[in-house]
Structure 1
Amino acid sequence: MSEIIYVYSAHSAYAYLGSAELMRIAAAHNAKIIHRPILLSPVVEHQGSQPFADRTQAHVDYFFGREIERWAEYRNVPIINHRPTYHDADYSLASGMILTLGESGPAVDDLVHRLLEAHWRDDIDLSDRDALADVATAAGHDARALLIKAGSSAVQSRLKANNDWAVSQSVFGSPTYIVDGDPFYGQDHLGLVERALQTPFAPSTWRNPPVG
């Protein structure tokens, strides 16, 4: 069985926009999705990219505006018409819920989509325990037990390990999909992910000179 290593943050707009399509691709090609939730800002900043707080207003307006609207329409994905109210809230507990369910399987696939959808369609606060409990209950889980495990030091340590692993793999954004070691950044590359599951791309021979 082929595997798609799925690296993303639980509050990522573009992970949400590509979520249903990723599930479709995996099912169509009998591929297992391996979930690697991360906390995005530490990973992005470690790679030297600018945090959104330091980017130009024009860039932020484009990223959190027209581009999201177009992809939502293209993929027929319901979405709010503004940056989520609590987008800057801590989402480590939501990430821990994902990790508690494991790295693969229908239950984790379903919960991940529900969390992304709840943030980008319903504008929920991913740090709000009651809101997270509602998502977990709707997915058929024992919300109290899931949240206790999600916040444990053992699970949060795994989240930190995912961050460290993502940095070691040169991940610089969410979502990133890795097929047989070949990374694809952005949900707009899901067509290439699907092609890679059928016919792997030739190994890269591209070489760039050092920057600076």
Structure 2
Amino acid sequence: MTQAAREPITFWFDFGSPYAWLASTQVEAVAQRCGRPVRWRAILLGVIFRSTGMVPLGQQPLRGDYARRDVARLARRAGLPFATPSPAPGTSVALGRVFHAIALRDHSLAARFAREAFMAAFARGEVLGDADPARAFAARLGPVAEAAAADALSPAARAALRDATDEALAQGVFGAPFFTVDGEAFWGQDRLATLEAWLREGPW
């Protein structure tokens, strides 16, 4: 398979996931080293959890407390500023709709929006849990993003987020961050190193 024809690494993420935020700062570098593009796909974990029976990480006894400490520790290790492990309620939906509204016009711009929105929410603690602040944040990226984000509440953007979540479920995605490539699945930010080894060394 030539590099041009190589399948992208699909990065499934929810804007409310702190581990997805950490992965968003690493996945492009991993993909570049492996000669792969990245396909960014915003999904809604709440919908997926209704199928799996799981509950949000922050609501799980013991594990939620551990995760809050763990995310802060990983952020320090990566040299990232850190504000909160739990963004405002509604962040997943508001940012997910804006992401897909932009992606319907420009996939690379949508990926940039995702990276910067993650940083705003988790590294700086900006509240982006409603449609208006989510659209206003997109406007910072320029007129193209601003115009696309104006359609975040359109049927097309809503359907795109819903379809991405359905596609994720169909591919066996049960959490975030989640990565699929060449028919193989990897769950968790801590599996990026395994994903890279799999692609660089050949499957074992």
Question: Please, what TM-score do these two structures have when normalized by structure 1?
Answer: 0.83
Residues 107/143 of structure 1: CA separation in 2 closer, same or farther (3 Å cut): closer
More displaced, 138-147 or 5-14? 138-147
Which residue of the other structure, out of 153, 174, 178, is the alignment partner of 1:172? Answer: 174
**Mapping 1:1-212, distance limit 5 Å:** 1-52=6-57, 55-56=60-61, 58-64=62-68, 66-80=69-83, 82-84=84-86, 86=88, 88-102=89-103, 105-142=107-144, 144-202=146-204
Secondary structure class of the residue paired with 2:203: coil
SS at match of 1:77: coil
Tell me if the contact between 1:47 and 1:170 (Cα under 8 Å) persists in the aligned partners: no
C-alpha displacement of 1:162:
1.4
RMSD between aligned alpha carbons? 2.2
Task: Give yes or no for contact 2:34–2:199 (8 Å, CA) kept in 1.
Answer: yes
Cα separation, 1, equivalents of 2:58 and 2:191: 26
Kept in 2, the 8 Å contact 1:114–1:135? The answer is no
Tell me if the contact between 1:85 and 1:123 (Cα under 8 Å) persists in the aligned partners.
yes
CA distance in 2, matches of 1:132, 1:68: 23
- Partners in 2 of 1:165 and 1:133 — Cα distance? 25
Normalising by structure 2, we get a TM-score of 0.85
How many angstroms apart in 2 are the aligned matches of 1:101 and 1:134? 13
Distance change (3 Å), C-alpha of 1:187 and 1:141: farther
CA-CA distance at 1:35 after TM superposition = 1.7
136-145 or 37-46: which moved more? 136-145
More helix by share: 2
- How many pairs align? 198
Structure 1 pair 94–141 and aligned structure 2 pair: CA distance change class (3 A):
farther
Q: Take 1:52 and 1:187, find their aligned partners in 2: how far apart are those partners?
A: 14
Q: For 2:33, give the aligned amino acid.
A: A
Q: Are 2:178 and 2:185, in contact at CA under 8 Å, matched by a contact in 1?
A: yes
Give secondary structure in 1 for the equivalent of 2:151: helix
> How many Å separate the matches in 2 of 1:15 and 1:141?
27
Equivalent position SS for 1:150: coil
Amino acid of the residue matched to residue 75 of structure 1?
A
Identity of aligned residues (%): 24
Return 5+ residue gaps in structure 1 as ranges: 203-212
Moved more, 98-107 or 25-34: 98-107
Does 42-51 or 13-22 show the bigger shift?
A: 42-51
Cα offset, 1:142, TM superposition: 4.0
Alpha-carbon offset, residue 100 of structure 1: 2.4
The amino acid of 1:62's aligned partner reads Y
CA distance in 2, matches of 1:74, 1:53: 21
Contact in 1 for aligned 2:136/2:146 (Cα 8 Å): no
